[in-house]
Amino acid sequence: MKKLAIISLVLFLLAGMNGYLYSSPEKTELRKEIVTVKYIETRAAYDILGKFLSPKGTIQPVRRENKLIIEDLPEVVEKLLSMLKEIDVKPVDLQLNVELILGSMTLKEKTDLDKELMSDPVMKELGNLLKYKSFKRLDSAIIKIQDNRYSSQRMGGEGISLKLDMRPRYIKEEKGDTFQVELGLRQHRGFNAEGKEITIVLIDTTLTLKSGQRTVVGVSKLDGGDKALILIISGKIIG
Domain ranges of the chain: 28-90, 93-237
Question: d(Cα 181, Cα 54) in Å, to the nearest integer?
Answer: 38
Helical segments of 23-147, H only: 42-49, 74-87, 112-118, 121-129
Give the model's confidence band at 221: pLDDT under 50 very low, under 70 low, under 90 confident, else very high.
Answer: confident
Q: What is the pTM of this model?
A: 0.68
Please give the angle made by the CA atoms of 116, 121 and 124, to the nearest 5 degrees: 80
pLDDT at 1: 47
- Top pLDDT among 209 and 3 is at 209
3-class SS of residue 26: coil
Cβ proximity of 203 and 184 under 8 Å? yes
Could you give phi then psi for residue 75, rounded to 5 degrees? -70, -30
Q: How many Cα atoms within 13 Å fall on the side-chain side of residue 89?
A: 8
- So what's the architecture of 28-90 in CATH? 2-Layer Sandwich (3.30)
pLDDT at 108: 64
Query: Among candidates 94, 178, 187, which has minimal Cα distance to 143?
Result: 94
The 10 Å Cβ neighbour count of residue 231 is 22
Question: d(Cα 214, Cα 97) in Å, to the nearest integer?
Answer: 9
Reported as a single tens digit per residue, the pLDDT across 168-207 is 998 877 777 888 999 999 988 888 888 888 988 989 999 9
Question: d(Cα 188, Cα 196) in Å, to the nearest integer?
Answer: 11
